[in-house]
Chains A and B, each alone.
Chain A
Amino acid sequence: DTAVSQTPKYLVTQMGNDKSIKCEQNLGHDTMYWYKQDSKKFLKIMFSYNNKELIINETVPNRFSPKSPDKAHLNLHINSLELGDSAVYFCASSQDFGTASYEQYFGPGTRLTVT
């Protein structure tokens, strides 16, 4: 009964390649997110979608393109991968957006290594 799932868990690829990470949530939530966690464990939001609409884009390079085919899925496509893209990427979801309190549920993460 995984609430937020991501695939793949590990991704090793070469510079210049294009790759995608998929995320699905079965919680019935309206809002989904992508975060990047660097080697120092610093966690930073990249994107947020509410009911398939982009609501937050935190100055992420346009090589990163999120896509939400429905509100249960938020995929992340990365073009022309660079060494600096190596990190752990977390998907998360929350019931709503814009309220004063909303718990975010995180997926297990995808460790991306660019060589």
Chain B
Amino acid sequence: GESVGLHLPTLSVQEGDNSIINCAYSNSASDYFIWYKQESGKGPQFIIDIRSNMDKRQGQRVTVLLNKTVKHLSLQIAATQPGDSAVYFCAENSDYKLSFGAGTTVTVRA
């Protein structure tokens, strides 16, 4: 079956710098995409979502970009903070269910 994948399993970033987490998806029929953050010992937490009819959406310190031509999704975190250290998952919605990628572990260096 088709699945969502992330380009890099780990990302180390200096506190205060911007982070970019990438995700490639393969199901062109997916109509909705979500980024989740999972801190150690906790369940995934919603960060931001985007529908397939958009190419950019901004939240508080986060921006999601969607490029349907190359089936690519990215999450940008501005001014990364120690509390941003977590595993980040992209997920796509198709056939009324979410399919998650493998996750990128972000470590923020002080």
Would B51 and A41 count as touching, CB distance under 8 A? no
Question: Interface of chain A, helix or strand or loop or mixed?
Answer: loop
Q: Which of A43-51, A63-71, A75-83 contacts B (4 or more CB under 8 A)?
A: A43-51
Would B44 and A43 count as touching, CB distance under 8 A? yes
Which residues of B (83-101) have their CB < 8 Å from a CB of A?
87, 89, 93, 96-100
- Which of A42, A101, A106 lies in contact with B102, CB distance below 8 A? A42
Known: A43-B44, A90-B43. A55 touches B96 (CB 8 A): yes
Would B102 and A100 count as touching, CB distance under 8 A? no
B residues sitting closer than 8 Å to A (CB atoms) are 31-32, 34, 36, 38, 41-46, 49, 51, 87, 89, 93, 96-100, 102-103
**Can you name 28 A-B residue pairings with CB atoms under 8 Å?**
A41-B102, A43-B44, A43-B89, A43-B103, A45-B97, A45-B98, A45-B99, A48-B97, A56-B96, A56-B97, A58-B97, A90-B43, A92-B43, A97-B96, A100-B31, A100-B51, A101-B32, A101-B49, A101-B51, A103-B34, A103-B49, A104-B34, A104-B46, A104-B98, A106-B43, A108-B41, A108-B42, A109-B41
